[in-house]
Structure 1
Amino acid sequence: MTVPLSILDLAPLVAGGTVGDALRRTLDLARQAEQFGYHRYWVAEHHLTPGVASSQPALLLGQIAAATERIRLGSGAVQTGFLTPLGAVEQFGLLDALYPGRFDLGLGRSAQRRKSILAEPAEVEVTEARVVDGLLIPQSFSFQPILRSARSALFAKLLTQPNAEPADLDSAVDDIQTLLAGPYTDGLGNEARAVPGEGADLQIWILGSSGGESARVAGARGLPFAANYHVAPARVLEAVEAYRAAFKPSAALEAPRVMVSADVIVAEDEETARRLAIPYALWVRSVRTGAGAIPYPSPAEAEAFEWSDDDRKLVADRLDTQFVGTAETVAERLETLRRVTGADELLVTTMTFEHTDRVRSFELLAKHWYG
């Protein structure tokens, strides 16, 4: 049986484009993705990033819901370190009240992750590249330099209230589930109810890039888990294995459910697909240097960039694990990813300079995948 395909969208800006352009392209892509047969349409949460417009998932999802009819919609992911559990429940409860039964509340660690990184030793173990049953598991990449940077500290200051201490992920999820079930009590006879939010028909997901806290919390609480091959390909197997090892059946799930992400670009022929993928390396470099994702460059701009050996090393794992080619070629690689990880669903993300190329990539892949 073919597993479902879903989409992750960052609402990316392109060089010379505007935020309005990016958001209108997202609405158009969501409408077409529904027609192509994609199961879910998730939007990311990225802040203070010049090349990404999806900073407020709930607001954007409301616009997408109004433009579509049935496709499931969700966040990939709400950053629990920057939003209280009540805020998340109210926002997504409002969405569910208007468009019942269509929303996934995807949750990530965000600020908790930076806090844990700061507490770790400066040196981390680097795992070597290997191939597991046909799937490339590249050399690991450390996000420590980015998360320890002064720029990251500035962003944390802007994203949190003064002296605020974010709850750990498990506590945040517990509060969210309690508020959804309602009422929330303090043990002293006082209670609080989230309106909107209490009783909302939301599917909670946990997203993770390693076998750490996110995977363990998702498993222990019996929630579905999304593992990020497109962000941290070196640790995807560690992530899904830790989740399954920790899994306990719950009211939400009787057995583990895993979704795995991948970066893809599909075109009618291999040469065209490779040409469309040229700017990806420069875009990844902007992320990996800690400067933040730039507006997606044109192929000409990317080709003119002068690469150093260090630059190439910085982006190698992401380039080597991007699936580029015809629908048949990309589908074969996605099937390998599904088989090796045991994924129940795949979450694909695509960026190209021209919107028509991006839409066409998703269309070609869906037609081939679903036959």
Structure 2
Amino acid sequence: MSVPLSILDLSPLVSGDPSVGAALRRTLDLAKQAEQFGYHRYWVAEHHFTPGVASSQPALLLGQIAAVTDHIRLGSGAVQTGHQTALTIVEQFGLLDALYPGRFDLGIGRSGQAKKEIQASAREEHPAQAEERVVDGLLIPKPFSWAPIFASKRTALASSLLSQPGAEPLGLTEILDQIGGLLAGPVGDGEGNEVVAVPGAGADLEVWLLGSSGGESARTAGARGLPFAANYHVAPAKVLEAAEAYRESFVPSATLSAPRLMVSADVLVAEDDETAQRLAAPFALWVHSIRTGLGAVPFPSIEEAAAFTWTDEARALVKDRVDTQFVGSPQTVAEKLRTLQRVTGADELLITTIAHDHADRVRSYELLAKEWRG
């Protein structure tokens, strides 16, 4: 039996129509249709200072999606804890749960602390990266290093605007403790003083951790008995490491008696392989804009992608993402996703699809859902 399929949406802008409002309205339309297609969850990302992505405030966007859907689970992929306090996170998602009870996943990412670690690593010497390999049919590419981008002046400027002056993000353990305490509520100081998050205390949220390696997020999710989402679409080189670290660290909890792993993938489906490859052509150029430190541009057209002059250096910059995007007919892509599920042991797959034409993106999700159901 196939595992459930879910969606991660970035609310992408597209070239020729670089309107934030249009991108967000496309997200609302896609969410309504995804519910009809039978997808299990609909998650939205949190990205800042990115010209081609409108999903910057998950809780605000999820409230709009909840208003136009009936039952599909909704969540964040992921709230970036380095930019908020535990209280603001709990209040936002508590408000959502108060209005639409029992439908929300609070997906958490360790962005603030992770960026500081990567910036520090840019100043250190490292051994040669592991080479590309294939594991039981699944491509595990050579790792990509974000260190130069996270060490850039543009990243420093963005980071300065994402936090209060002098503020230091809490460690993952500390912020999870605070979130858990506020959700359970009330929170006391041991001297008889208590506070209650309103809204937030008692909210029926499913808490997830997301991660791109076998580091702290994977280990913490396991140790706390939380569900974990591993990013094959962001960091395909480290997905097996992430899955292994999560399972090795897992301790049963009141939430889960066994590990629960979701794995993401970049996907584009069309009626046949040739059409899908044509529609997927702009993906490399879009990834190139991210990897050069500019932030994702509005998704290019097929014509713009064809006009771009590629150098060997530019192709190498995007190779891991392009090679691990699953592109083709419904049968072709379903086979690749089953390989990903088998090799990682995923209990659920999280699909992200971007195309220049909204109709092509919706059609991709529809074709995949039909094929997956068999």
Name the TM-score, length of structure 1 as normaliser: 0.99
Does the Cα contact within 8 Å between 1:124 and 1:142 map onto a contact in 2? Answer: no
Taking the aligned partners of 1:356 and 1:119, their CA distance within structure 2 comes to 43
Question: Alignment partner of 2:218: what SS?
Answer: helix
Question: Alignment partner of 2:267: what SS?
Answer: strand
1:47 corresponds to which letter in structure 2?
H
Taking the aligned partners of 1:325 and 1:179, their CA distance within structure 2 comes to 46
Aligned to 1:321: 324
Aligned to 2:5: 5
Taking the aligned partners of 1:285 and 1:170, their CA distance within structure 2 comes to 34
Aligned to 1:256: 259
Aligned to 1:84: 85
Tell me how far 1:186 sits from its aligned partner. 1.8
Tell me how far 1:283 sits from its aligned partner. 0.2
Q: Identity across aligned pairs (percent)?
A: 72
Q: Deviations over 1:48-73 (max 9, x none)?
A: 10000000000000000000000000
Taking the aligned partners of 1:318 and 1:124, their CA distance within structure 2 comes to 22
Aligned to 1:53: 54
2:126 corresponds to which letter in structure 1?
V
Aligned residues: 371
Does the Cα contact within 8 Å between 1:86 and 1:194 map onto a contact in 2? Answer: yes
| Pick aligned residue for 1:155 from 154, 158, 161 | 158
Taking the aligned partners of 2:80 and 2:191, their CA distance within structure 1 comes to 30
Q: Deviations over 1:237-281 (max 9, x none)?
A: 000100111111111111100000000000001111000000000
Aligned to 2:279: 276
Aligned to 1:73: 74
Tell me how far 1:16 sits from its aligned partner. 2.0
Tell me how far 1:127 sits from its aligned partner. 1.4
Q: Does 1:95 align with 2:109?
A: no
User: After alignment, is 324-333 or 170-179 more displaced?
Assistant: 170-179
2:238 corresponds to which letter in structure 1?
R
Tell me how far 1:123 sits from its aligned partner. 3.5
| Pick aligned residue for 1:184 from 175, 183, 187 | 187
Taking the aligned partners of 2:116 and 2:144, their CA distance within structure 1 comes to 18
2:184 corresponds to which letter in structure 1?
A
Q: Does 1:114 align with 2:126?
A: no
Q: Does 1:141 align with 2:144?
A: yes
Question: Alignment partner of 1:128: what SS?
Answer: coil
Gaps of at least 5 residues in structure 1 are none
Aligned to 2:65: 64
Aligned to 1:164: 167
1:35 corresponds to which letter in structure 2?
Q
User: After alignment, is 186-195 or 73-82 more displaced?
Assistant: 186-195
Question: Alignment partner of 1:50: what SS?
Answer: coil
Q: Deviations over 1:293-346 (max 9, x none)?
A: 000000000110001110000000001000000000000000000000000000
Aligned to 2:205: 202
1:29 corresponds to which letter in structure 2?
L
Aligned to 1:350: 353
Aligned to 1:31: 32
Tell me how far 1:189 sits from its aligned partner. 2.0
Tell me how far 1:119 sits from its aligned partner. 2.9
Taking the aligned partners of 1:160 and 1:352, their CA distance within structure 2 comes to 33
Moved over 4 A (4+): none
User: After alignment, is 179-188 or 149-158 more displaced?
Assistant: 179-188
1:5 corresponds to which letter in structure 2?
L
Question: Alignment partner of 1:12: what SS?
Answer: coil
Taking the aligned partners of 2:194 and 2:43, their CA distance within structure 1 comes to 33
Aligned to 2:133: 130
Question: Alignment partner of 2:264: what SS?
Answer: strand
Taking the aligned partners of 1:103 and 1:253, their CA distance within structure 2 comes to 17
Taking the aligned partners of 2:47 and 2:126, their CA distance within structure 1 comes to 25
1:208-227 aligned at under 5 Å gives the runs: 208-227=211-230
Aligned to 2:15: 15
What do you get for the CA RMSD once the two structures are aligned? 0.8
Aligned to 1:367: 370
2:302 corresponds to which letter in structure 1?
P
Tell me how far 1:192 sits from its aligned partner. 1.2
Taking the aligned partners of 1:123 and 1:343, their CA distance within structure 2 comes to 34
2:202 corresponds to which letter in structure 1?
G
Question: Alignment partner of 1:145: what SS?
Answer: helix
Name the TM-score, length of structure 2 as normaliser: 0.98
Question: Alignment partner of 1:3: what SS?
Answer: coil
Q: Deviations over 1:87-137 (max 9, x none)?
A: 000000000000000000000011111111233343334111111011000
Gaps of at least 5 residues in structure 2 are none
Tell me how far 1:74 sits from its aligned partner. 0.1
